[in-house]
Structure 1
């Protein structure tokens, strides 16, 4: 019954999306370039493809060589307009993902603005020596024209087998994939077989000018969310764990936790969920029922960014709360090729930018 209702709504949504893209293609709407190297990391679906860890990967690779800045929308923040993200900012002020990135890379300028063109120009004004602006989740935001676009698709939920919202998870037309310079198939199993790669490449049917890469998620050792309030814990398979997550697709996180610890319960919240004191109280009540003394609460990095800003956390046993950091790992045979493509674009962009300045 729900599918019968969702199907016509998906058709209407898809039509609106295609008309909007057509207006950009016909120049009725104008995409504005920025006089800096701009790398867009986006997708065609509503979350769950791993944009944030891929953005962090790019920062990790590029920031030792170039002056990098990150521009995000700051999804679900309560503030408006352009805002510089500081280490002491809160998720309510700037959004959980930008805050997470700033916490990991305090030396990198991170900013939020729903208007990407205004935000990019504000970054250049604030930090004139910026060489690269990474645009987080801006593939659909066509008002700004990136120099290099990376589109992610989840190995477990390929865009070629998806439908428009609300019937599926597509928020943009599959035909728009032609605008991407490269496609990264994310969240692949580390043991992905050659035949699986070939089938995916055939399924995506990319143009000759488009590259394709495969990446996986690597989970790190759990860390305390509140560094000033923690007790050293021995993490092993006998550890009793209560896990919770407010991300688009919590299943990979829950599966990882279950495969490494004795998980008592997994609690899922909506993506970018803003936790209330009531939520934390419910989580802690469930945790208190675990009779073992060797126990811990585990969540994701994104959730950790939101929890740190909660004043109501003061009444709870904060040393019980830990998060699992994640990183992106590219296939060892193609990782350098991916890096070479990105750095090749940056070098070309810088040459063109310098030429433009000389002519001006």
Structure 2
């Protein structure tokens, strides 16, 4: 098993605009609930501080997490850490995160108001990396990016990111102001970004931030070793339900067997696979447990040959993964936009 105590978390360039981050980031969403019950401020702050003391400096939040409570929690933690050493990322754009009533907004006025509100909740003077969380298809991406560019010029944000954006949107956004990072789901069982998004990011010099690199905890044993609680959003996720879960347990069994063979945990193998996809990929797994955080750090020390990596990939054939990667109904749902669709046919996709 990888010994995390002896591992130094390296620093890497995220994109080619000058941002440097720890090779392993920390997704803060779960600290305020989502897959689990929210932690107390004290426990959440302790986990963030532990991550920092272990060498993680890249922390990811969003205004929608915990209905704004997550940014407040992260802000409190930052008061106990040297701000100049932290790379803080947050997001805007989702007005309502209810899966049955998802609303997104990307008007210039909304961009600015969200940024100002996040700065206040985080109690910081600037945001290192500010993402559009989801693209508002009713607003040309050029309009949204124009306001983000102004915020960079004013020093309120330092770098711009996009989350779950299409190749066309990424290109058009990058033409207005360089995009530093694109955040997308990427893991052993979610690889649909490899065909177009990854090559495009590498062509344009954009860093890649894989979220849910452990398959929303699946490769850490969620729903297999650990139960999914009734208050978890995973009860609505197709891959964690009924026959789909039964089929996916077979995939976990293969990774578990490979873990025993290589003397690593399944989570460490799954995270190491993401690390091995390139230096420009900086995953941001989240956890509410110090033990799991230390194991994630240990994944940086996993040694895998090319044959080992192929063996890992082959153990998770994408056509065998049961269930969509998004929440039930989300892929087929008509997203609701808070703005009136423009006449401009170049709306974002």
Q: TM-score w.r.t. structure 2 length?
A: 0.31
The higher-RCO structure (CA 8 Å, 6+ apart) is 2
The structure with the largest helix share of the pair is 2
The structure with the largest strand share of the pair is 1
- Rg larger for: 1
